[in-house]
């Protein structure tokens, strides 16, 4: 009888560590995806470098593109940052109708500011010019067990077109690189979770 209780206790310990490790990894991937997600080109900046996909790249993502309903490749892929304002200058607060910025707007940016088409109200209650794709990325943590499912979700309707590109718009991957970047840390967390007596 005591062996059963001991086994259950050990399993609960390991299961708790596994769930914690999965959720830490999903949070990490979410942060990276947010950092990598492109923003609407409303500020003056470089356009970066984009090239057509290689045959290897087209073959590697053919099944995935079909699954999400994206057309077949090849598409142009953004190889360097598409704008100098990707990190911080892109999300500027609209304060009483006036945009607080320290960099000039493009013609498209002026149009979108005037019409309010690109305005995004963040969960914190701030309105920004652009940033909807980045602002809507969130994590769905794993719960329960013995099977855990955690997700990094990008629910914006045009997210798949940004990630995979189209015939007319270049691909700017942000989700797949984020998941690839956390693969090693996830493996280490799972190894730690399986160790007993710690």
- Sort strands 119-121 and 98-99 into parallel, antiparallel or unpaired: unpaired
Flag whether pLDDT at 89 surpasses 50.
no
Flag whether pLDDT at 42 surpasses 70.
yes
pTM recorded for the entire structure = 0.75
Render 18-53 in DSSP notation, one character per residue: HHHHHHHHHHHHHHHHHHHS---S-B------EEEP
Among 11, 1, 12, 15, smallest CA distance to 148 is for 15
pLDDT tens sequence across 174-196: 999 999 999 999 999 999 888 75
Among 44, 113, 50, smallest CA distance to 83 is for 44
Render 103-149 in DSSP notation, one character per residue: S-B-HHHHHHHHH-TTEEE-TTS-EEES-HHHHH-EEE---SSSS--
Banded model confidence at residue 90, pLDDT cuts 50, 70, 90: very low
Q: Which carries the bigger pLDDT value, residue 188 or residue 85?
A: 188
Distance, in Å, from the CA atom of 143 to the CA atom of 151, rounded to the nearest integer, reads 11
pLDDT-wise least confident of 52-61, 78-87, 114-123, 170-179: 78-87
pLDDT tens sequence across 117-138: 778 887 777 777 778 888 899 9
> Which residues make Cβ contacts (< 8 Å) with residue 133, sequence separation at least 6?
37, 38, 39, 154, 156, 158, 159, 162
In percent, the amount of the chain with pLDDT more than 90 equals 30
Question: Which pLDDT value is given to residue 157?
Answer: 92
Question: Which pLDDT value is given to residue 34?
Answer: 92
Question: Which pLDDT value is given to residue 160?
Answer: 93
- 99, β-bridge pairs: 94
Question: Which pLDDT value is given to residue 53?
Answer: 85
């Amino acid at each position: 009888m005591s062996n059963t209780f001991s086994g259950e206790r050990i399993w609960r310990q390991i299961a708790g560590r596994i769930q914690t490790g999965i959720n830490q990894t999903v949070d990490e991937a979410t942060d990276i995806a947010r950092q990598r997600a492109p923003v609407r080109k409303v500020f003056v900046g470089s356009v970066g470098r984009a090239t057509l996909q290689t045959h290897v790249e087209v073959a590697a993502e053919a099944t995935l593109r079909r699954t999400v309903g994206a057309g077949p490749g090849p598409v142009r892929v953004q190889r360097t940052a598409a704008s100098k304002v990707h990190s911080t200058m892109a999300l500027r607060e609209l304060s009483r109708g006036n945009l607080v910025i320290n960099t000039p707007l493009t013609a498209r940016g002026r149009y979108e500011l005037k019409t309010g088409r690109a305005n995004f109200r963040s969960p914190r209650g701030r309105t920004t010019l652009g940033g909807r794709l980045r602002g809507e990325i969130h994590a769905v943590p794993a719960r329960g067990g013995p099977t855990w499912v955690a997700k990094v979700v990008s629910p914006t309707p045009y997210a798949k077109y940004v990630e995979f590109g189209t015939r007319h718009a270049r691909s700017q991957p942000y989700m797949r690189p984020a998941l690839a970047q956390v693969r090693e840390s996830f493996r280490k967390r799972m190894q730690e979770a399986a160790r007993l007596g710690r």
